[in-house]
């Protein structure tokens, strides 16, 4: 008998235990532990249960196994917390791109052929530039639609044309990106593929989706740390500490000094960042 659950978008989908197992393994759980947790979770699922409730059940069980794995499993929620304005998501994704070899600058004004644009992230690698529009959401649900893809592509074309006509420019603009922490509609993806607009979103593209880019290099936001509090988060953001890996890479005394936090809070977060970012 097929068991249907309700996604964040409100749409029903078939519950697949292997999908849950895979997500637990990606978080660092062994296959045996992942299958054991998945079977226990499955026994508690009721028809039309929301996926966020299933996540909570799995996370509660996972927490008993490993605090670090539990934090990794909370990556989607951690990215939701990079709001509500979305500016921290832009700074965070710029940090992710730097780890992949890009030079990345947030909130830069670029003169297009028709008008001047404020670009969320301007990237550069090997004298080749790109413009990125970030769309952050504090909850799941409605996907990014094709109108957003059209808007992002039109801005990219205007900027690209201006750079092509200015022969003194040493940099060429060749890439337009749409980045979001939720999903994109099938039409948005189809249009982007057709026009050469790059989309990085949740679960898309499969090998280089947002969560894959994060997990491959352990580029978790500080919001993933289980002991983080709103007041501490505001202080870390103010001091441009957005990646948990940045905390892990610092000496404890340096982090205490640079973070602006009290010693007890700083040491707790440092310990969690170290545990989260070490090899697993």
- pLDDT at residue number 171: 83
Residue 157 CB contacts under 8 Å (≥ 6 apart), including other chains: 176
Cα–Cα dist 100/42, whole Å: 37
Same domain, 93 and 136: yes
- Which of 34-48, 65-79, 218-232 shows the lowest mean pLDDT across its residues? 65-79
167 pLDDT above the threshold of 70? no
- pLDDT at residue number 2: 78
How far is CA 77 from each of CA 27, 61, 138, 139, 221, rounded to the nearest angstrom? 14, 17, 9, 8, 11
Same domain, 159 and 101: yes
In a domain, 197, yes or no: yes
The residue ranking higher by pLDDT, 256 or 8, is 256
In a domain, 180, yes or no: yes
- What mean pLDDT do residues 12-16 have? 91
- What mean pLDDT do residues 264-268 have? 96
Domain boundary among 198, 217, 236: 217
Same domain, 245 and 185: no
Question: How much is the pTM?
Answer: 0.83
Same domain, 231 and 252: yes
Same domain, 95 and 174: yes
280 pLDDT above the threshold of 60? no
Task: Please state the domain count of the chain.
Answer: 3
What values do phi and psi take at 173, rounded to 5?
A: -95, 110
Same domain, 124 and 187: yes
Closest among 37, 33, 71 to 54, alpha carbons compared: 37
Closest among 214, 241, 215 to 228, alpha carbons compared: 241
Q: CATH number of the domain at 193, please.
A: 3.40.1350.10
Beta strands in 28-88 (DSSP E): none
| For the ranges 19-33, 50-64, 84-98, 110-124, the one whose mean pLDDT is highest | 110-124
58 pLDDT above the threshold of 70? yes
Q: pLDDT tens digits, residue range 228-246?
A: 999 999 999 999 999 999 9
What residue numbers bound the domain in which 63 lies?
Answer: 4-73
What values do phi and psi take at 197, rounded to 5?
A: -85, 130
In a domain, 209, yes or no: yes
pLDDT, averaged across the chain: 92
Closest among 29, 67, 78 to 275, alpha carbons compared: 67
Same domain, 95 and 209: yes
Q: pLDDT tens digits, residue range 108-159?
A: 999 999 999 999 999 999 889 999 999 999 887 789 999 999 999 999 999 9
């Amino acid at each position: 008998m097929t068991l249907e659950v309700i996604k964040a978008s409100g749409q029903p989908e078939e519950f697949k235990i292997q999908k849950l197992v895979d997500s637990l393994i990606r978080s660092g759980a062994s296959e045996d532990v992942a299958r054991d947790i998945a079977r226990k979770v499955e026994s508690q699922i009721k028809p039309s249960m929301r996926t966020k409730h299933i996540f909570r059940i799995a996370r509660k069980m996972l927490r008993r196994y490993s605090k670090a794995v539990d934090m990794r499993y909370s990556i989607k929620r951690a990215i939701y917390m990079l709001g509500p304005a979305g500016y921290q998501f832009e700074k965070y994704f710029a940090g992710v791109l730097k780890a992949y070899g890009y030079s990345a600058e947030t909130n830069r004004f670029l003169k297009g052929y028709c008008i001047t644009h404020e670009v969320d992230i301007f990237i550069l690698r090997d004298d080749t530039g790109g413009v990125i529009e970030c769309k952050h959401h504090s909850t799941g649900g409605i996907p990014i639609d094709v109108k957003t893809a059209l808007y992002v592509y039109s801005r990219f074309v205007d900027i690209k044309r201006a750079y092509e006509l200015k022969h003194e420019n040493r940099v060429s603009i060749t890439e337009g990106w749409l980045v979001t922490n939720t999903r994109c509609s099938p039409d948005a993806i189809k249009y982007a593929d057709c026009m050469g607009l790059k989309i990085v979103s949740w679960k898309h593209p499969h090998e280089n989706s947002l969560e894959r880019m994060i997990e491959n290099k352990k580029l978790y936001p500080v919001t993933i740390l289980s002991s983080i509090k709103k007041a501490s988060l505001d202080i870390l953001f103010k001091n441009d500490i957005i990646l948990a890996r940045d905390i892990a890479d610092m000496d404890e005394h340096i982090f205490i000094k640079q973070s602006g936090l009290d010693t007890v809070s700083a040491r707790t977060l440092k310990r969690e960042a170290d545990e989260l970012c070490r090899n697993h």
